[in-house]
Structure 1
């Protein structure tokens, strides 16, 4: 069991690829697409199993962890709405997809011996807990990993915004966004081989350059509450533990120094 200790927000000046970044409590944002592996749809169980083992390693190192998982591997509300479906209904369906992903990740974490709780912003009492802020904090203090499902519970808000909101509510020291690439680029490096990669950005840089690593609501929430965002590759084994040691390859987005 992880002993509860008072949290102190890390000084932004000490965070960076060469800095001594050692957060106590973090929120990990996983994309739904990252759980597909090489498949075109659904869950790649080998990928989910690997992620569970990496989360376990970080958990055993004494970190307090919470997660937000997207649902794009099952259903994307915005793209479906663009094809003619009502946006509110499409977004609600996307929220249900995130619950399915949360239950899958919970299953693999508990197989690895990691105590886990799923909390949904849309009440589903028979399969998971409702989102209750104080209960979620208490779970983490007791050494449990908490997975927040169903986004914010409202349409028109992405899971990126949900991740930033929960990071603020949980008093997290950082928000870690696991993506398909090893940081933030000025263009898609898979389509533009000459795309420029950034080691460090300010929140203002992201908004001014419209880099779209996360939506503007998420960036604004993190900026206004002083929570740094670290972007790294979901595909690189061991990257999560490396980032939390202040090593590895990632881009940090933070307040202007």
Structure 2
């Protein structure tokens, strides 16, 4: 008797990095963490992990503190960026808790040492976690100011030999202009790294796109608000934009 596994589609990628913003964890709130939203995203991650895909994550910190905004308000930039890194650790711990409640083994790996709450980043150890099908959440960016979590995500995806970066957003791909403000916005099914940079499409920051381009790492932009969207794309379904060479 079949257990149903034969009917399960073979995922398009075996190892991926999911990048989401801190704002994605706010739900309808204007600030902080919304536990039902964190739980919903954790379910999306679990559904993909259950396909056999190895997953690592990077979560921004903008729902708690954004370094650039702090800097713009007169705070010294380096200090503001470090505060933003600490915010990403809080988000990572919240996601870890939600995943572990669902029975998913998970590790938070921090670029800034804080041994009581997270593992330090050691590449070979992180790769071993992935091989054991644990979800890894990379926190504290690169550990350096002046680098965004987009750049940190691209760096870690390359170090972990991920096959793609999945960028979860509020829209179902990359548009030529903001689809929320413009009814005539056109969505791209695919677009090159160079076109993203030339057209300043804000998929990720320029450093992240250039790093992905230099290492031929595709970026898949999709809607995190679409239930089952993350799993669907890995199964060859759904709406998204792929950024590649």
Same-fold status (TM-score > 0.5): yes
Corresponding position: 1:141 with 2:131: yes
Residue of 82, 85, 104 corresponding to 1:95: 85
Corresponding position: 1:212 with 2:202: yes
- Alignment partner of 2:36: what SS? helix
Matches within 5 A, 1:154-169: 154-169=144-159
In 1: Cα distance, 2:183 partner to 2:84 partner: 32
2:4 alignment partner in structure 1: none
Matches within 5 A, 1:40-55: 40-55=30-45
- Alignment partner of 1:103: what SS? helix
Deviations 1:47-74 (A, max 9, x none): 1111111111111110000000000111
- Alignment partner of 1:148: what SS? strand
Q: What TM-score does the superposition give when structure 2 sets the normalisation length?
A: 0.94
1:152 alignment partner in structure 2: 142
Offset of residue 180 of structure 1: 1.2
1:251 alignment partner in structure 2: 241
2:116 alignment partner in structure 1: 126
Corresponding position: 1:66 with 2:56: yes
Q: Which has the higher contact order (CA 8 A, sep 6+)?
A: 1
Cα contact 2:11–2:53 (8 A) shared by 1: no
Corresponding position: 1:231 with 2:221: yes
Corresponding position: 1:199 with 2:189: yes
- Alignment partner of 1:201: what SS? strand
Give 5+ residue unaligned stretches, structure 2: 1-9
Cα contact 2:11–2:51 (8 A) shared by 1: no
2:27 alignment partner in structure 1: 37
Give 5+ residue unaligned stretches, structure 1: 1-19
Number of residues of Structure 1 aligned to a counterpart in Structure 2: 236
In 1: Cα distance, 2:70 partner to 2:223 partner: 27
- Alignment partner of 2:12: what SS? coil
The runs of 4+ residues in structure 1 deviating greater than 3 Å are none
- Alignment partner of 2:168: what SS? strand
Offset of residue 246 of structure 1: 2.3
Comparing 182-191 with 118-127, greater Cα deviation is found at: 182-191
Offset of residue 93 of structure 1: 0.3
